[in-house]
Structure formats: C-alpha cells, structure tokens
C-alpha cells in the first residue's frame, strides 16, 4: 500500500490484483451460500465443557404433579431398545395409573451411550428443542415410536425435522435450535450427573438414592409406589373389614 507505485502496480498489476480479489470474493460467497442452503446434518458435540447456564433452572424433564409423594428419575437414551420398550409398552400404564392420579412424578434425564448409539445425542437435542415450544413429551413419544426408523440412519436430522413438523412445531425455530446445538451442554450435564450417581446403563430408574437398572415393567413400578406411598384406605374398606 505504501510502496512506490510501479508501472505494474498502476496498470496491469492492479488489474490483476482486483481480478484476484473479485475471484476470491465470488468463491467465498459461493461457499457460504452452499453451506447455508444445503440440507444440513446436525452434529451435537460430545464431552463439551458444561457451563452454569446449561443447567440454570433445569432439573430434567418432569412429568407429573410437583406434589406427588414419589419421584422416579429415569436415565435413558432415545436409541436404547429397552428404553423404547419401557416408553411405548409400560409408560402408558404408569402414566394412567400413577402419574395422572398424582401419585408419581417422573423426571426424565438424558444418558447418551455414545459408543453404541451414534444418533442418541441428536435425538436428545431434538427433544430439547421441542421443549422450547412446550412439546417435549410429544417429541419424546414420537422419537421412541420411530426409533426403528431413525436409529440406523447416517443423518437422522431430516427425520426429526419431519417429527417436528408433524407435531406442529415452528420448524424455523426448531431448525435454528438444532443447528445451534445450544443444548449440547445440558445433555452433557445430565450424562455427568448420571455418572456421579453410578449409572452405567439404560434405562436406569433412580428412586431416592437407589438405582434400578435394566428392564422394568409397570407392575413393578406400581408395587414400588404402593410400598412407598400407600393409598389411604377408602372409607368403605374398614367397614368391609369389620363385617
């Protein structure tokens, strides 16, 4: 810039420079446009450093009354077949008999098994993004129902986008949420918490400080809740008993 302008710089040299600058600008704009417009894959990073803001006000996804006498924390992975069985086969009964009746509160936490479930974190993030629009549980159910479809996919993001659309989410907001990976830290925080409690597999239910790993059915949970918070005897029961 401060050099003595030679003939080359004032004539052909400058023309060449501006041509080069223009070519670089065109190439750069083309690459950026391609990146913005192409159907994107979504990547949720593993082992991110958890920040305080990732967990501020977040204690898991809760289903049920805050006054329920029993709370179970479920550590689960959307790509885990046992978790799917629990969610689709057992959970409807648990929900009907215990959660809707105010006897049980379920706290759902992510426990991604990254070494065997490559799509787990993306699914967890899709659910977290649905939660932004108050559709966590519908997305939770849809992810488990569709597990067989998206689990083998190399890029499950379009399938999850379809779920978001079907559930009536604002898909632009959902897409922006997914691309930003803003809940990567929250997922990692749940994973770290589970490890601190000694969770090693999914699904694992935690009642108080006790862990209950492996397959579990609704009857076992009903018995558990019955033992921890017995229903008060109905007025007629004592009368019957005295008869």
Partner 1 sequence: MAAALLSLLGVFVALYLYLYKIGKIGALVCGTGGCETVQLSRYSRFLGIEVSLIGLVGYIGLLAFTLWALRPAVARLRWPATVLAALSGVGVLFAIYLTALELFVIHAICRWCVGSAVIITAIFAAALLDRRHAEAVKA
The residues of the shown chain that bind partner 1, judged by CB under 8 A, are: 1-5, 9-10, 14, 17, 20-21, 24-25, 28, 31-32, 35-36, 40-43, 45-49, 51, 53, 157, 175-182, 184-185
How many Cα neighbours within 13 Å face the side chain of 80? 23
Tracing tokens 């996804």 back to the chain, one arrives at 61
Sign of CA dihedral 81, 82, 86, 87: negative
Residue nearer to partner 1 on the CB measure, 64 or 156: 156
Instruction: Return the structure tokens found at 9.
Output: 């710089």
Distance CA 107, CA 73 (A): 4
Residue nearer to partner 1 on the CB measure, 43 or 101: 43
Closest contact distance (angstroms) between CB of 47 and partner 1 is: 8
Distance CA 88, CA 110 (A): 17
Closest contact distance (angstroms) between CB of 60 and partner 1 is: 21
Tell me which residue of 203, 62, 74 sits closest to 131, measured CA to CA.
62
Contact 136, 127 (CB under 8 A): yes
Residue nearer to partner 1 on the CB measure, 20 or 214: 20
Closest contact distance (angstroms) between CB of 179 and partner 1 is: 4
Closest contact distance (angstroms) between CB of 23 and partner 1 is: 10
Farthest CA pair distance, the chain: 117
Tell me which residue of 118, 109, 82 sits closest to 192, measured CA to CA.
109
Residue nearer to partner 1 on the CB measure, 20 or 69: 20
Closest contact distance (angstroms) between CB of 71 and partner 1 is: 31
List residues bridging with 75 in a β-sheet.
109, 204
Residue nearer to partner 1 on the CB measure, 48 or 213: 48
List residues bridging with 110 in a β-sheet.
76
Closest contact distance (angstroms) between CB of 28 and partner 1 is: 4
First to last CA, the chain: 106
Residue nearer to partner 1 on the CB measure, 86 or 160: 160
């Amino acid at each position: 810039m401060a050099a003595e302008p030679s003939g080359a710089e004032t004539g052909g040299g400058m023309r060449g420079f501006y041509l080069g600058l223009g070519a670089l600008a065109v190439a750069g704009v083309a690459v950026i446009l391609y990146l913005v417009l192409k159907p994107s894959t979504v990547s949720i990073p593993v082992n991110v450093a958890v920040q305080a803001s990732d967990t501020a006000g977040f204690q898991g996804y809760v289903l049920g009354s805050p006054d329920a006498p029993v709370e179970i924390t479920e550590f689960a992975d959307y790509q885990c077949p046992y978790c799917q069985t629990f969610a689709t086969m057992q959970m409807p009964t648990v929900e009907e008999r215990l959660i809707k009746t105010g006897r049980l509160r379920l706290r759902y936490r992510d426990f991604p098994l990254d070494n065997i479930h490559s799509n787990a974190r993306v699914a967890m993030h899709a659910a977290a993004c649905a939660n932004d629009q108050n559709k966590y549980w519908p997305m939770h159910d849809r992810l488990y129902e569709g597990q067989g479809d998206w689990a083998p996919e190399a890029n499950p993001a379009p399938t999850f986008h379809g779920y978001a659309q079907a559930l009536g989410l604002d898909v632009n907001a959902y897409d922006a949420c997914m691309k930003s990976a803003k809940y990567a830290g929250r997922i990692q925080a749940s994973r770290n918490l589970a490890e601190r409690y000694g969770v090693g597999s999914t699904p694992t239910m935690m009642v108080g400080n006790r862990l209950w790993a492996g397959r579990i059915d609704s009857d076992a949970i009903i018995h558990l809740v019955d033992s921890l918070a017995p229903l008060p005897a109905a007025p007629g029961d004592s009368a019957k008993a005295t008869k």
